[in-house]
Amino acid sequence: MTAAGAVRRRGRALVPLIVPAALVAAWWFASAASTSPYFPPLSRILTTFADNWLGDRVVSDVLPSLGRMLAGFCAAVVVGVGLGALLGRLPLLAHALNPVLQFGRALPATALVPVSIAVLGIGDVPKILLIAFVTVFPVMLNTIDGVRNIDPVLEDVTRSYRLTRRQRLWHVQLPAAAPQVVAGIRIALSVAFVMMIVSELIAATNGIGFVTLIAQQSFRVPLMWSGMILLGILGVAVNVLFAMVERRLLRWYAHAPEE
Amino acid sequence: MTSALTPRAGVRAAALPSTSPDAGPERGRRALVVVLPWATTVALLAVSEVLSRTGVLPEEIPPVTDVLAAGWQLVPTAKFATSLVVTLVQVAVGLVIGVVVGVAAGLALGSVPLLYRLTHHVLDFFRFIPAIVYLPVVVLLMGATPWTAFLLAALGTVWPMLFQTYYGVAGISTVLSDTARVFGLRRHQRLAHVVLPAVSPFVATGLRISAAHALVVVVAVQLITAIPGLGRDIAVYAANAVYPRMYALVAVVGLVGVALNAVLAAVERRSLHWHSAYREGWT
C-alpha cells in the first residue's frame, strides 16, 4: 500500500464526480453573462433560492407540501398494507374485487385531481385524501401478491408449530411478503411525490409546486428555476432516504435490490 | 392439511381460469371463478347507484347510470374522438422519443463501462426527478403547444427505458459475449444476435412502466396548461360542474390506462416466455 497507490485509488474514486461537477460549472459559466429572460445566471437563481426557499417559504410552502405528501403517503401505507394483508388471506374476495383494483391501479392518478376538487373541495384535507387514495393501490396490490406468494411449506410449518393467527401474521406472513410490500411502497412514494406537485398546480393556495407555477405564469423566471431545483433535490432526497430505510428493513433478504 | 391447501388451489384456478384442464365437478367452480369478479363489479356499481339516487352520496357523485348516459352521448361526438386521438398521439409521440433516446443511451452505457462510471451519479440524480417538475420551464419555452406534452411525456419515459436497457446489457453473461467474440461475430451481428435478444425483455418491462408514466404526464399537462385532450375536457367539465361527463371521461382515461397496460403486458409475456433470465423491473 504505497502512497502513490492510495492517491491513484482516491483519484479513481473521484472519476464519477467529474461529470456532475462539469455540468454545474458549465451551467454557472454559460449563464454567467446571460441576458436571456428564460435562462438567468445561475448565481441569480441560487440567490433567489436562498432568499425564498431557505427563508419564509420553508414554513409557508415547503412544510405544507411535504406534510401533505407524508400524511397521504403514510395513510396509504397503513391502509394499503392492512387491506392487502386481509385480501391476501381471503383469495376469493381479492379475486372478486380484482377488476376494481386493477382499474384503480391503471387509472392515471392525475385525472383524479379535478374529481377531488369537485367532490372534496380545495385545501389540505382533499389533497391528502387524493394522495392517499391514489397511492393505496400499488401498496395494496403488492401486499396481496406478497402475502399470496408465501411458500406453502412455510405456512404448513407454522401451523404445525401451532403459531397463533397473530403470530403467523407478524412473524411469518408480513416478513415473507416484505420485499414485495416494500416494492409497492416505493412506487407509492414516487406517485405521492408527483401528486403532491400536481395537486398544487390546480386550485391551490400554497406549496412548492404552486409557487413554481405562479412564478412561471408571472414571469419571475429565477424563482421558477429555484422552485424546480428544490423539487428536483427533494425528489432525489425522498428516494435516497427511502432506499436507506429499505436496505435496513430488507437486510436479511438475499435478493434485496443492489443500489 | 387438505383444508389448509384448498384455498390455494382456488387461487391458482382464479389466476388461470381458462387453462386448468380438470373436467367434471370443477367446471361449475371455474364458471363461478370467471363470473365472480364481474358480478361483484356490477354489484358495487349498483350499490353506488342506489346510494346516489337516495341522496346518501353528495350530488358531486352522480348515479352510475347518469355517467353511463353521459358517456353514451359523448363517445360518438367528433369532439370526443378528437380529444381521444390527440391524447393518444401525445402519449405515443412522447413514448417513441423517450424509448428511442432511452434505449440508445442504455445500450451505450451498457457497452462502455467508462461512460457509465462517468455519468451514473448524474443519471441517478435525474431519474428520481419526475417529469412534471420540468413543466414550468417547458411551458415557458414551448407555450401551450403539443410539444410541451411530447417533451414532458418523453422525459417521463426516458428514465425507465434507459435503466431497463442498461440492466439488460449489463446482465449479459461474459461467457455469452466472449463466445460471440470468439466465434468471430462482428459488432452488428453481436448487437443483433446477443445484445438485443438479451435486452428485449427488459425493454418490454420498461415499455409497460413508461407507457403508464407517459399517460399520467400527458393528462397532467392537459389539466394544467389547457393543451387540448381528454385531461383538459375533464378539467372543463369539472369547472362547469358537468359531473356525469367528467366521470365518463375519467372512466375513459382509466380504460385507456387499462388497455395500454394489457397490450404491453401481453408484449412483455411474449418476450418473456423464452427468456429465463427475466426479472422484475426496478420501479
A224-249 pLDDT, tens digit each: 999 999 999 999 999 999 999 998 88
All cell numbers assigned to B231? 385531461
Q: What is the pLDDT of residue B19?
A: 46
Of residues B178, B98, B175, the one with CA closest to residue B131: B98
The interface predicted TM-score of the complex, written ipTM, equals 0.88
Residue in A19, A99, A225 closest to B118 by CB: A19
All cell numbers assigned to A47? 440567490
Taking the Cβ of residue A158 and every Cβ of chain B, the question of whether any pair is shorter than 8 Å is answered with no
Q: Are the beta carbons of B223 and A202 separated by less than 8 Å?
A: yes
CA-based nearest residue in chain B for residue A36: B141
Q: Are the beta carbons of B128 and A201 separated by less than 8 Å?
A: no
In percent, the amount of chain B with pLDDT more than 90 equals 61
* Weakest mean pLDDT among A201-215, B8-22, B182-196: B8-22
Which candidate in A42, A198, A238 is best for mutational testing of the B interface (most B CBs within 10 A)? A198
User: How many Å lie between the alpha carbon of B223 and the closest alpha carbon of chain A?
Assistant: 8
Task: Give the confidence band of B260 by pLDDT, cuts at 50, 70, 90.
Answer: very high
Q: What is the pLDDT of residue B1?
A: 33
All cell numbers assigned to B37? 369478479
Residue in B133, B216, B239 closest to A109 by CB: B216
Q: What is the pLDDT of residue B279?
A: 47
DSSP state of A33: T
Q: E strands along A71-110, which residues?
A: none
Average pLDDT, chain B: 86
Q: Which of chain A's residues have a Cβ under 8 Å away from the Cβ of B283? A: 186-187, 190
Q: Are the beta carbons of A110 and B257 separated by less than 8 Å?
A: no
Q: Are B115 and B104 in contact (CB under 8 A)?
A: no
Average pLDDT, chain A: 90
Residue in A18, A100, A235 closest to B130 by CB: A235
User: How many Å lie between the alpha carbon of A113 and the closest alpha carbon of chain B?
Assistant: 9
Task: Give the confidence band of A255 by pLDDT, cuts at 50, 70, 90.
Answer: low
Taking the Cβ of residue A31 and every Cβ of chain B, the question of whether any pair is shorter than 8 Å is answered with no
* Weakest mean pLDDT among A137-146, B85-94, B198-207: B198-207
Q: Are B170 and B195 in contact (CB under 8 A)?
A: no
All cell numbers assigned to B207? 415499455
Within chain B, all domains assigned CATH 1.10.3720.10 are found at: 70-272
| CATH numbers and ranges of domains, chain A | 40-249 (1.10.3720.10)
Q: Which of chain A's residues have a Cβ under 8 Å away from the Cβ of B128? A: 190, 235-236, 238-240
Would you tell me how many other CB atoms lie within 10 Å of the CB of residue A257?
15
Residues A147-171 as b or e (16 or more Cβ within 10 Å = b):
bbebeeeebeebeeeeeeeeebeee
CA-based nearest residue in chain A for residue B247: A115
Q: Are A159 and B4 in contact (CB under 8 A)?
A: yes
Q: Which of chain A's residues have a Cβ under 8 Å away from the Cβ of B51? A: none
Model confidence pLDDT, tens digit, residues A182-211: 999 999 999 999 999 999 998 889 999 999
Q: Are the beta carbons of B136 and A197 separated by less than 8 Å?
A: no
Element spanning B195, H or E: none
Q: Which of chain B's residues have a Cβ under 8 Å away from the Cβ of A195? A: none
Distance CA B60, CA B250 (A): 14
Model confidence pLDDT, tens digit, residues B105-155: 999 999 888 999 889 889 988 999 999 999 999 999 998 899 999 999 999
- The arrangement of secondary structure in B70-272, i.e. its CATH architecture, is Orthogonal Bundle (1.10)
**Ramachandran class of B55: left when φ > 0, alpha when ψ lies in -120 to 50, beta otherwise:** left
Q: Are the beta carbons of B121 and A19 separated by less than 8 Å?
A: yes
Of residues B127, B269, B255, the one with CA closest to residue B207: B269
Model confidence pLDDT, tens digit, residues A22-55: 999 999 999 998 888 899 999 999 999 999 999 8
Phi first, then psi: what are they for B224, rounded to 5°? -85, -40
All cell numbers assigned to A183? 416494492
Cell 461474459 found at: B174
Taking the Cβ of residue A159 and every Cβ of chain B, the question of whether any pair is shorter than 8 Å is answered with yes
User: How many Å lie between the alpha carbon of B158 and the closest alpha carbon of chain A?
Assistant: 16
Distance, CA of A91 to chain centre:
29
Q: Which of chain A's residues have a Cβ under 8 Å away from the Cβ of B14? A: 91-92, 95
Q: What is the pLDDT of residue B274?
A: 62
Taking the Cβ of residue A254 and every Cβ of chain B, the question of whether any pair is shorter than 8 Å is answered with no
User: How many Å lie between the alpha carbon of A219 and the closest alpha carbon of chain B?
Assistant: 9
Model confidence pLDDT, tens digit, residues A115-150: 999 999 888 999 999 999 999 999 999 999 998 888
Find all residues with CB under 8 Å of A230, minimum gap 6, and list them: A49, A53, A62, A208
Task: Give the confidence band of B273 by pLDDT, cuts at 50, 70, 90.
Answer: low
Q: Are the beta carbons of B40 and A201 separated by less than 8 Å?
A: no
Distance CA B133, CA A198 (A): 9
* Global model pTM greater than 0.90: no
Q: Which of chain A's residues have a Cβ under 8 Å away from the Cβ of B36? A: 92, 95-96
Q: Of A14 and B92, which is predicted with more confidence?
A: B92
CA-based nearest residue in chain B for residue A119: B60
User: How many Å lie between the alpha carbon of A82 and the closest alpha carbon of chain B?
Assistant: 20
What value does the mean pLDDT take over residues B38-60? 92
User: How many Å lie between the alpha carbon of A109 and the closest alpha carbon of chain B?
Assistant: 7
A148-157 LR contacts (CB < 8 Å, sep 24+): A148/A88, A148/A91, A148/A94, A148/B11, A149/A177, A149/A180, A150/A176, A150/A177, A151/A176, A152/B5, A152/B8, A155/B4, A156/B1, A156/B4
Taking the Cβ of residue A23 and every Cβ of chain B, the question of whether any pair is shorter than 8 Å is answered with yes
Q: Which of chain B's residues have a Cβ under 8 Å away from the Cβ of A182? A: none
User: How many Å lie between the alpha carbon of B183 and the closest alpha carbon of chain A?
Assistant: 33
Q: What is the pLDDT of residue B24?
A: 61
What value does the mean pLDDT take over residues B239-250? 94
